[in-house]
Amino acid sequence: MDILDYAFMQRALLAAVLVGITAPAIGIYLVQRRQALMGDGIGHVAMTGVGLGFLLNTSPVWMATGVSVVGAVMMELIRWYGKTRGDIALAMLFYGGMAGGVMFINLAPTGSNANLTSYLFGSLSTVSESDVTAICLLAAFVVLVTVGLRRQLFAVSQDEEFARVTGLPVRALNLLTAVTAAVTVTVAMRVVGLLLVSALMVVPVAAAQQLSRSFTATFAIAVAIGVSVTLGGTATSYYQDVPPGATIVLLTIGAFIALTALATPLARRRARAASAAREAGDPAECVIPASREAAGKAGV
Amino acid sequence: MGEPVISLRGVRAELGSRPVLRGIDLTVGRGEVVALLGANGSGKSTAIRTVIGQVPVSAGEIELFGVPRRRFNDWRRVGYVPQRTTAAGGVPATITEIVASGRLSRARFGVLRKADHEAVRRAIGLVGLADRAKDSVNALSGGQHQRVLIARALAAEPELLIMDEPMAGVDLASQEVLARTLREQVAAGVTVLLVLHELGPLEPLIDRAVVLRDGCVTHDGPPPQAVGQHALPGHDHVHPHAAHDAEPIRTGLLS
């Protein structure tokens, strides 16, 4: 395996695996609460962080983490207090974040749009030692939250109102979800890029749903798909000289299509089994209740 | 009447600038089964949503188990069935997974122990879905969704059940299961406050009916007697006109 001989490829593969785990792990809760595009919004906001990192000559990864956490918290606050025009406020946040990124990076003495491109579309081979440290720490946080608090996050994402009546700290959990999603975006930023990160949060979950009936199974399958496509995409980009971020996302969509095709006969078989079970229990034909029939005759 | 479990005094609430509750008084004693009746838009859903703290109150006092609602945090004593047409979310989930979230009020740090898993299994059995516990809720009918929501509320073994239109859109077989489940809960001493569109198969269980109209209480006493053909034994209260009345208007602002 000559791919493992190079230190930069070892770092790239490690980062890829961590993204493959974390992105679907938080993405499943976003999909469950029907906020599948939240990751995309955070990705836009994170661009301001990258630009600020260049401008202030600090680590773009940590700066992007800080700014996208602030952005995600703002999105959550808009969702609470937002009246009818919440979507407009979110749009302004997204595009303001993107414009801020372009502006700051051009103001920076060392920055140019070329630097920004490596964050927009990922740049696996330039992942440095310090990037790997940051990615490991952030990924550990994401796994801790998404697995450790899975029951609470499941309840809040399934039915927020009910969760409040069970006494769960719903606001705190919503904020934690937003912060964790923001952290995941910056973990994935170097691997697939800010513009494609949402794909890794959403598409593995959508693909896993084709096969699963339970939340736990969906979670496990989505993470398995995530790890497979990030590893597969990274290896492909090494051997074929194609951009890793785009390869990973196309592989994920390929997995979705393949599983959907596979799931159709599976669903049909399940439906047949279910209807067979039903026929064993219930009469297959319509039956008029005896009392109604009697009443009808009496009336005539 | 036993000690009050729920007590509302002069409660007012607005949705936007529109007054929905104009000073209502309501007391539910321990072990009582009270139905909130009224037309769509009369404020009955809002009334129970103020009790569980989902709608802010602009005036008046609310107490749960004798504790002012603002300071009440013993939510394990309350089982809540929200008005929903589905128990499903954006990701597949089994009946057991959804009902287990109702047990979180009794689980420390969200860790379910053996007794908790048993309580979840029991709750699913109470609504007659034991053989489908591992099925995805996406495969269920509307009435079965409602049974899942009720099992979720029962998983915490509450002393007080608050239900918002549990019979809405429920098929006859599920209505009977729900009525039986509720009868067992009442026999075990559980207090019930429920919003109903019509008394229906739950009629024999109900001790007291409170009728709301335009955000005011217009009747508080024995349930209104059914007359004529409605009073015949075996009358199943499925009126041809009920579907027209109930469906288009239920998209109301209160839900």
Domain residue spans of chain A: 2-283
**pTM metric for this prediction:** 0.84
Q: Could you tell me what percent of chain B has a pLDDT over 90?
A: 38
The DSSP 8-state label assigned to residue A217 in this structure reads H
Number of domains within chain B: 1
Q: Are B98 and A165 in contact (CB < 8 Å)?
A: no
Distance (Å, whole) CA A147 – CA B111 = 12
Chain B: give the shortest CA distance to residue A276, in Å: 15
Per-residue pLDDT at A294: 44
**What's the mean per-residue pLDDT of chain B?**
83
Per-residue pLDDT at A117: 82
**Each residue's pLDDT tens digit, A81-96:** 765 566 777 788 888 9
Decide if A34 touches B, using CB distance below 8 A: yes
The nearest alpha carbon in chain B to A83 belongs to B16
Q: Could you tell me what percent of chain A has a pLDDT over 90?
A: 41
* Contact call for residues A138 and A65 (beta carbons, < 8 A): yes
* Contact call for residues A173 and A153 (beta carbons, < 8 A): yes
Q: Could you tell me what percent of chain B has a pLDDT over 70?
A: 87
Q: Classify B60 in phi/psi space as left (phi over 0), alpha (psi -120 to 50) or beta.
A: left
The nearest alpha carbon in chain B to A213 belongs to B136
Q: How confident is the model at residue A70 (pLDDT cuts 50, 70, 90)?
A: very high
From B37-46, B153-162, B221-230, the region with the lowest mean pLDDT: B221-230
Determine the average pLDDT of the residues in B58-64.
90
Chain B: give the shortest CA distance to residue A162, in Å: 7
> Across-strand partners of B193?
B34, B162
Determine the average pLDDT of the residues in B219-243.
58
Chain B: give the shortest CA distance to residue A209, in Å: 7
Per-residue pLDDT at A128: 84
Q: How confident is the model at residue A286 (pLDDT cuts 50, 70, 90)?
A: low
Reported ipTM: the value is 0.83
**What's the mean per-residue pLDDT of chain A?**
85
Distance (Å, whole) CA A18 – CA A23 = 8
**Each residue's pLDDT tens digit, A13-69:** 999 999 999 999 999 999 998 888 888 889 999 999 988 988 888 888 888 899 999
Q: Is the pLDDT of residue B163 over 90?
A: yes
Burial of A298 per CB tally in 10 Å (0-12, 13-18, 19+): exposed
Burial of A215 per CB tally in 10 Å (0-12, 13-18, 19+): buried
Q: Are A167 and B102 in contact (CB < 8 Å)?
A: no
Distance (Å, whole) CA A199 – CA A226 = 10
Question: Which amino acid makes up residue A134?
Answer: A
Q: Is the pLDDT of residue A173 over 80?
A: yes
* Contact call for residues A125 and A245 (beta carbons, < 8 A): no
Chain B: give the shortest CA distance to residue A226, in Å: 17
More confident residue, B238 or B138: B138
The nearest alpha carbon in chain B to A210 belongs to B92
Decide if A157 touches B, using CB distance below 8 A: yes
Decide if A83 touches B, using CB distance below 8 A: no
Q: Is the pLDDT of residue B227 over 70?
A: no
Q: What is the CATH number of the domain that holds B32?
A: 3.40.50.300
Q: Is B197 part of a structural domain of the chain? A: yes
- Is the Cα torsion angle A39, A43, A48, A50 positive or negative in sign? positive
- Is the Cα torsion angle A51, A53, A59, A62 positive or negative in sign? negative
The parent domain of residue B198 ranges over: 4-249
Q: How confident is the model at residue B19 (pLDDT cuts 50, 70, 90)?
A: confident
Q: Is B87 part of a structural domain of the chain? A: yes
Decide if A158 touches B, using CB distance below 8 A: yes
**Each residue's pLDDT tens digit, A92-109:** 888 899 999 889 888 888
3-state secondary structure chain B: CCCEEEEEEEEEEEECCEEEEEEEEEEEECCCEEEEEECCCCCHHHHHHHHCCCCCCCEEEEEECCEEHHHCCCHHHEEEECCCCCCCCCCCCEHHHHHHHCCHHHCHHHCCCHHHHHHHHHHHHHCCCHHHCCCEHHHCCHHHHHHHHHHHHHCCCCCEEEEECCCCCCCHHHHHHHHHHHHHHHHCCCEEEEECCCCHHHHHHCCEEEEEECCEEEEEECCCCCCHHHHCCCCCCCCHHHHHHHHHHCCCCCC
More confident residue, A276 or B57: B57
- In the block, tokens 């998404």 appear at A146
The nearest alpha carbon in chain A to B72 belongs to A167
> Across-strand partners of B7?
B27, B63
From A76-90, B33-47, B88-102, B151-165, the region with the lowest mean pLDDT: A76-90
Q: How confident is the model at residue A291 (pLDDT cuts 50, 70, 90)?
A: very low
Determine the average pLDDT of the residues in A188-217.
91
Q: How confident is the model at residue A277 (pLDDT cuts 50, 70, 90)?
A: low
Per-residue pLDDT at A9: 87
Per-residue pLDDT at B38: 87
The nearest alpha carbon in chain B to A154 belongs to B101
Q: Are A32 and B89 in contact (CB < 8 Å)?
A: yes
Residues 6+ apart with CB under 8 A from A239: A3
Out of 1.10.3470.10, 3.40.50.300, 3.30.1300.10, 3.90.180.10, the CATH code matching A2-283 is 1.10.3470.10
* Contact call for residues A158 and A232 (beta carbons, < 8 A): no
Per-residue pLDDT at A192: 87
User: Of A31, A151, A155, which is closest to B90 when you measure between CB atoms?
Assistant: A31
Determine the average pLDDT of the residues in B218-235.
65
Dihedral pair phi/psi, residue A111, rounded to 5°: -100, 155
Q: How confident is the model at residue B247 (pLDDT cuts 50, 70, 90)?
A: very low
Decide if B221 touches A, using CB distance below 8 A: no
The nearest alpha carbon in chain B to A212 belongs to B92
Per-residue pLDDT at A35: 85
* Contact call for residues B92 and A218 (beta carbons, < 8 A): yes
The DSSP 8-state label assigned to residue A107 in this structure reads H
Distance (Å, whole) CA A133 – CA A131 = 5
User: Of B92, B101, B234, which is closest to A155 when you measure between CB atoms?
Assistant: B101
Q: Is B186 part of a structural domain of the chain? A: yes
Per-residue pLDDT at A74: 87
Q: How confident is the model at residue B122 (pLDDT cuts 50, 70, 90)?
A: very high
Per-residue pLDDT at B226: 57
- Is the Cα torsion angle A190, A192, A196, A201 positive or negative in sign? negative
Distance (Å, whole) CA A250 – CA A253 = 5
Per-residue pLDDT at B253: 42
More confident residue, A19 or B242: A19
> Across-strand partners of B59?
B12
Decide if A58 touches B, using CB distance below 8 A: no
Q: How confident is the model at residue A278 (pLDDT cuts 50, 70, 90)?
A: low
Per-residue pLDDT at B241: 44
Determine the average pLDDT of the residues in A70-80.
85
Q: Is B215 part of a structural domain of the chain? A: yes
Q: Is the pLDDT of residue A206 over 90?
A: yes
Give B 92-151 residues with CB within 8 A of chain A: 92-94, 97-98, 100-102, 104-105, 107, 110-112, 134-136, 139
Q: Are A154 and B93 in contact (CB < 8 Å)?
A: yes
Per-residue pLDDT at A279: 57
Secondary structure of residue A211 in the 3-state scheme = coil
Q: Is B255 part of a structural domain of the chain? A: no
Identify all chain A residues contacting B110, using CB atoms and an 8 Å cutoff: 149-152
Q: Is B180 part of a structural domain of the chain? A: yes
Per-residue pLDDT at A300: 36
